[in-house]
């Protein structure tokens, strides 16, 4: 019950300046996974202080669920690595292009149901479709060229890093 009440505070950045312990973060992740609230987990990770996130743990969960936005967030804001997210998205995109099974083509939206199986007016974008991932790659290249950081687009990449990206 506490974790369910905790989510609105996370999403409104009320605890963004706080550093969560590893055990709290692990408990939060397990809660979302066990409740099958993967979209909520994705959104919550983007609203936590990047300094409090265990990079390996978040990378692992992000790779498992194709959370490319979260990988961009961690790699660029904490590790100052702008190439790994692009490489990862490109590898996934290439594998999707090479798949013979086109079951997921065109599946951009999925209606999310809450724990009571009531329909919500929210949609989850499948980040594992080649169409969406192709868009995400171009979007990421675009913000890098503009020198913007994600998710705070008003914050700019430092000049040395920007020159490394562009050259």
Mean pLDDT of 17-27: 79
* Predicted model pTM: 0.78
> Each residue of 51-87: pLDDT tens digit?
767 778 888 888 888 889 989 998 998 889 999 999 9
Q: Residues 15-44, buried b or exposed e (16+ Cβ, 10 A)?
A: eeeeebeeeebeebbebbeeeebbbbbbbb
- Name the more confident of 20 and 75: 75
pLDDT for residue 131: 87
pLDDT for residue 117: 42
pLDDT for residue 127: 60
C-alpha distance from residue 1 to each of 4, 20, 76, 104, 138 (Å): 5, 18, 33, 35, 40
pLDDT for residue 107: 46
Instruction: Return the number of other C-beta atoms located less than 10 Å from residue 135's C-beta.
Output: 14
If residue 89 lies in a helix (H) or strand (E), which one and from where to where?
helix 83-98
pLDDT for residue 163: 92
Q: 57: which DSSP letter? A: H
pLDDT for residue 10: 86
Mean pLDDT of 14-32: 82
> Each residue of 93-144: pLDDT tens digit?
998 888 745 554 444 444 444 444 443 334 344 566 888 899 999 999 999 9
């Amino acid at each position: 019950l506490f974790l369910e009440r905790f989510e609105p505070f996370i999403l409104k950045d009320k605890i963004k300046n706080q550093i969560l312990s590893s055990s709290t973060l692990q408990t939060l992740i397990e809660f979302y996974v066990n409740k099958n609230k993967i979209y909520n987990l994705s959104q919550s990770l983007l609203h936590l202080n990047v300094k409090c996130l265990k990079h390996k743990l978040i990378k692992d969960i992000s790779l498992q669920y194709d959370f490319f936005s979260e990988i961009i967030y961690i790699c660029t804001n904490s590790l100052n690595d702008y190439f790994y997210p692009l490489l990862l998205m490109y590898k996934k995109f290439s594998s999707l292009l090479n798949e013979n099974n086109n079951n997921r083509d065109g599946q951009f939206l999925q209606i999310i149901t809450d724990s009571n199986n009531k329909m919500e007016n929210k949609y989850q974008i499948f980040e594992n479709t080649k169409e969406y991932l192709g868009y995400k790659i171009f979007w990421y290249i675009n913000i890098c060229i503009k020198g913007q950081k994600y998710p705070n687009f008003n914050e700019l990449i430092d000049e040395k890093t920007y020159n490394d990206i562009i050259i």
